[in-house]
């Protein structure tokens, strides 16, 4: 998350029944390359032992003001200065209230006052405590000062009530932390991304589709979110349930016609960037039927007709306008040199601002990709085989540079 070295995360744990989940959160961040140090409130120790965190993080836990971990250092200031981000999960009503009013009676509260790093809070509490106007006011006060809140989930609560108050998933807290640490070069931008295959029905049980997994578009959506964008993903049927931030809007479609409709309706909301990464079927059966075709009456051939070219249509609608910045994807077979030539042709024909080309053998259903990024001037950049998350980062670097 932090360029060049592991991100340093201070994890604040407070006296919530969800405190035990903080151990999983510490592990989640560490597995993704972060160094985690924990600061606990006194109440948190009633729910989970500091030893658990010390064993997981292999770092001392800051518990009181009066314990020296590094001779000469003031524990809470040293931690506040060390942090790239301070994540409070779970954040109790009490901690949120005291932080809103600037109390510094515990090491955690003092870290929150002293740190210059971004702060992310994940509240967990009884639904009535969460919805209480005072708690909401405290949250608004902190949010206005730049604290990022990860909304609790709705469901059965440990206290017996049902409602909003369950600690958000570790992945959600991680996404929000990444966003807080990410560049802000897409802040406030509306980014529409299409991804995945489409399915073209033959009858109610059979369809024509392709091998696209949607992973590249999902990686692009996460990257746009990390950089501060408001992201809308229009996706076809994916082979996996994508782990996307909750605040990314997801529109699920099946056929190319539905994808076209969803993308065009997004155009009316004036997006800043449109990325067409979906593998939209070029053809569909001319006459799908509503009853299953029996084996005995199976046709020996199926007549196909062309689907609309959504990228071409968006490019035509865009015309000379600089917005949306239009990015197309093209998948080809052949050599890398043939790919660049074909992608350049498509960029011009479809009026895209940037075109990303990949070879089927490098991309379909893989966690890595190898692409060329071609822009209008004819310049192109080759991105050698890398994780799709890294490829997404480089594609957005190119978009920000050209857009
Ligand atoms: C069994 C039990 C469960 C609790 N769960 C929560 C909770 O989920 N969220 C919360 O805000 N407070 C909860 N509390 C109340 C806090 O522990 C209490 O407000 C405490 O002062 C919080 O201190 P801290 O913010 O310094 O950690 C709970 C208390 C008990 C006894």
Q: Judge whether 159 counts as a catalytic residue.
A: yes
Q: Which of 13, 63, 92, 101 to mutate to test the pocket of ligand 1 (most atoms within 8 A of CB)?
A: 92
Q: Can you read off the two tokens belonging to residue 189?
A: 């931008």
* DSSP state at residue 151: P
Ligand 1 atom 16: residue of nearest CA: 15
What tens-digit pLDDT sequence spans the chain (403 residues)? Answer: 776 789 999 999 999 999 999 999 999 999 999 999 999 999 999 999 999 999 999 999 999 887 666 666 788 999 999 999 999 999 999 999 999 999 999 999 999 999 999 999 999 999 999 999 999 999 999 999 999 999 999 988 888 888 899 999 999 999 999 999 999 999 999 999 999 999 999 999 999 999 999 999 999 999 999 999 999 999 999 988 888 999 999 999 999 999 999 999 999 999 999 999 999 999 999 999 999 999 888 888 999 999 999 999 999 999 999 999 999 999 989 888 889 999 999 999 999 999 999 988 888 878 999 999 999 998 999 999 999 999 999 999 999 998 7
Ligand 1 atom 10: residue of nearest CA: 92
Q: For residue 72, what pLDDT is reported?
A: 67
Lining ligand 1 with CB less than 6 A are 14-18, 41, 43-44, 92-95, 106, 124-125, 129
Ligand 1 centroid–CA 165 distance in Å is 13
Ligand 1 centroid–CA 38 distance in Å is 18
Strands laid side by side in the 190-195 sheet: 249-252, 230-235, 190-195, 273-276, 325-332, 354-359, 368-375, 380-387
Q: How do strand 380-387 and strand 368-375 relate by DSSP bridges?
A: antiparallel
* Ordered alpha helix ranges (H), 102-166: 107-114, 127-131, 133-144
Go through the domains of the chain in sequence order and give each one's CATH number.
8-181 (3.40.50.1950), 190-402 (3.40.50.10300)
Residue 214, by phi and psi: left (phi above 0), alpha (psi -120 to 50) or beta? left
**If DSSP codes are grouped into helix, strand and coil, which group holds residue 76?**
helix
Ligand 1 centroid–CA 254 distance in Å is 46
Q: DSSP letters of 5-44?
A: SPPEEEEEE-SSGGGGHHHHHHHHHHHTT-EEEEEE-TGG
Give the C-alpha distances (Å, rounded to integers) separating 387 from 95, 192, 362, 371, 396: 39, 22, 11, 11, 14
């Amino acid at each position: 998350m932090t360029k060049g070295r592991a991100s340093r995360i201070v994890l604040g744990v407070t006296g919530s029944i969800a405190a035990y989940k903080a151990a999983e959160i510490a592990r989640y961040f560490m597995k993704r390359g972060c160094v985690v140090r924990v600061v606990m409130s006194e109440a948190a120790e009633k729910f989970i032992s500091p030893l658990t965190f010390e064993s997981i993080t292999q770092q001392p836990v800051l518990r009181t003001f009066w314990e020296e971990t590094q001779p000469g250092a003031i524990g809470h200031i040293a931690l506040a200065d060390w942090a790239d981000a301070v994540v409070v999960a779970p954040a109790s009503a009490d901690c949120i209230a005291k932080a809103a009013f600037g109390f510094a009676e515990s090491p955690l509260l003092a870290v929150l006052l002293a740190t210059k790093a971004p702060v992310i809070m994940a509240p967990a509490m009884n639904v009535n405590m969460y919805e209480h106007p005072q708690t909401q006011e405290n949250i608004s006060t902190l949010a206005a000062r730049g604290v990022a809140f990860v909304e609790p989930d709705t469901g059965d609560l440990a206290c017996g009530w049902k409602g909003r108050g369950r600690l958000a998933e570790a992945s959600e807290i991680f996404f929000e932390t990444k966003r807080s640490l990410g560049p802000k070069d897409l802040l406030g931008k509306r980014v529409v991304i299409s991804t995945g295959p489409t399915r073209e029905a033959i009858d109610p049980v059979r369809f024509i589709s392709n091998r696209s997994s949607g992973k590249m578009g999902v990686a692009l959506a996460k990257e746009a979110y990390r950089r501060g964008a408001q992201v809308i993903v229009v996706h076809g049927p994916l082979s996996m349930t994508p782990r996307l931030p909750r605040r990314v809007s997801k529109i699920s479609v099946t056929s190319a016609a539905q994808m076209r409709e969803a993308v065009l309706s997004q155009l009316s909301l004036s997006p800043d960037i449109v990325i067409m990464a979906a593998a939209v079927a070029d053809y569909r059966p001319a006459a799908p039927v509503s009853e299953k075709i029996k084996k005995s009456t199976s046709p020996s051939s199926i007549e196909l007709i062309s689907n609309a070219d959504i990228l071409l249509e968006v490019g035509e609608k865009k015309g000379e306008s600089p917005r949306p910045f239009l990015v197309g994807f093209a998948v080809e077979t052949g050599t890398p040199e043939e790919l660049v030539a074909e992608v350049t042709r498509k960029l011009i024909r479809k009026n895209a601002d940037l075109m990303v080309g990949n070879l089927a053998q490098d991309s379909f259903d893989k966690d890595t990709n190898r692409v060329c990024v071609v822009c209008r001037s004819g310049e192109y950049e080759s991105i050698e085989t890398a994780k799709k998350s890294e490829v997404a980062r480089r594609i957005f670097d190119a978009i920000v540079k050209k857009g």
